[in-house]
Amino acid sequence: MINNFQNWIADQIKGIKSKNQHRILTQIDSGMGPEIIIDGKKFIQFASNNYLGLTMNKKVINSSKKILERYGTGTGGSRLVTGTSNLHYELEKIIADFKNTESSLVFSSGYLANIGTISAIMGSKDIIFSDELNHASLIDGARISKAQIVIYKHCDMKDLEKKLKLVSRKNIRKMILTDSVFSMDGDIAPLDEIVFLSAKYDCITMIDEAHATGVLGKKGSGASEMFGVEKKIDICMGTLSKAVGSVGGYIAGSKKLIDFLKNKARTFIFDTSLPAPALKASMDAIDIIQNSDGPRKNLQKNILNLTEFLVKEKFNFYKNDTPIIPIIFGSELKTLKFSKMIKESGIYIPAVRPPSVPIGLSRIRITLMANHSQKHMEKLKRVLKKIKKFN
């Protein structure tokens, strides 16, 4: 039996390798700044979601250290038992103010926030309309809920409306589910049109602001702020693990929604809560995000700088107003080769391949940070130009 199992695994791995889709972990022996250490060598990285560089912010680190000494390393329980401290409540209040909602709820990760929330709210008699490029956590949440899933073409509002119209039964509950910034393509969902359709067809609107939090909007609270639709979104999810630079996920919405999730979201109920230093790091980071737009302006400057270069050099890339800029190669092998050549030049940008992206759309996904310096940006452009002929 054991041998059969081991043989099965070996066959599976062989299959993955034959498609050039085998993945290995890269060990990073430093903090996640613009420069990192791999195998004792320094690299400039354009691969993390630490868009504002807050994971290494001195003020955040120092106040988390103090909290670590006072509260220790863990909470010893789930939120409903010993896992709710004053810091959990304080952070939830800060997030609700930041997101302009009545209330919020912190989960251990964004992934858990999505699957727990969708599956608590939707059931087998309901329908979820889901963008075809939604993040895996939204897809998994929809699947766990057992609702019927209707996939609409990426950001295509005509297709979404066509599909909404087909549901004639009045008493059926419907949800429109979308990333606000798409994790692999980096583009922004048309939230103004989505909330319009949602109201017209009586849907629940849930958005995932994982990559928009800290990046979009005047005070950096996300795409819902940028579009001015915060009050029209029923369920606004985000993470504390990307621009916020810590760890955790949240749902922002009405008091009733949060009360319901405390009682029904299984990934909230049956999961040990986040430790105090992580909560304090998120609190301080959100404070920085709201009260200083300098890092966001730097980030925008870097986005513009790289975009202009890629247009001028005629790269096959997705032009976005976000820090996620993918250069498309198509085949897995070509992407792997390009990523390897970049690494040999001292820059770290891993290849992104199926199943993270559709087959035939393998890419290197460049992500920019506010604290990538002029020197970092120039080096990236030099290296990309040198190896352009392989694109």
Ligand X SMILES: Cc1ncc(COP(=O)(O)O)c(C=O)c1O
Question: Could you list the residues that contact ligand X (CB under 6 A)?
Answer: 109-111, 114, 135, 137, 179, 183, 208, 210-211, 239, 241, 249
Confirm if 178 and 189 have CB atoms less than 8 A apart: yes
- Which residue type sits at 285? A
**Partners of 249 in the beta sheet?**
107, 239
Residue 277 or 315: the one with the smaller Cβ distance to ligand X is 277
Residue 161 or 234: the one with the smaller Cβ distance to ligand X is 234
Shortest Cβ 102–ligand X spacing (Å): 23
Residue 120 or 377: the one with the smaller Cβ distance to ligand X is 120
Residue 104 or 183: the one with the smaller Cβ distance to ligand X is 183
Q: How many residues does the chain have?
A: 391
**Partners of 362 in the beta sheet?**
330
Confirm if 138 and 177 have CB atoms less than 8 A apart: yes
The CB-nearest residue to ligand X is 110
Shortest Cβ 112–ligand X spacing (Å): 7
Confirm if 85 and 75 have CB atoms less than 8 A apart: yes
Residue 133 or 384: the one with the smaller Cβ distance to ligand X is 133
Closest among 338, 268, 228 to 88, alpha carbons compared: 268
Angle, in degrees to the nearest 10, between helices 294-312 and 276-291: 80
Residue 135 or 365: the one with the smaller Cβ distance to ligand X is 135
Q: Can the peptide bond before residue 355 be classed as cis, meaning omega within 30 degrees of 0?
A: yes
Shortest Cβ 337–ligand X spacing (Å): 25
Cβ within 8 Å of residue 333, ≥6 positions away: 20
Confirm if 361 and 29 have CB atoms less than 8 A apart: no
Largest Cα separation within the chain, whole Å, is: 62
Shortest Cβ 283–ligand X spacing (Å): 17
- Which residue type sits at 160? L
Residue 115, number of CB atoms within 10 A of its CB: 25
Shortest Cβ 240–ligand X spacing (Å): 7
Confirm if 310 and 89 have CB atoms less than 8 A apart: no
Closest among 137, 222, 125 to 175, alpha carbons compared: 125
Shortest Cβ 110–ligand X spacing (Å): 2
Q: How far apart are CA 129 and CA 32, in angstroms?
A: 36
Residue 103 or 241: the one with the smaller Cβ distance to ligand X is 241
Shortest Cβ 114–ligand X spacing (Å): 6
Shortest Cβ 135–ligand X spacing (Å): 3
Residue 180 or 377: the one with the smaller Cβ distance to ligand X is 180
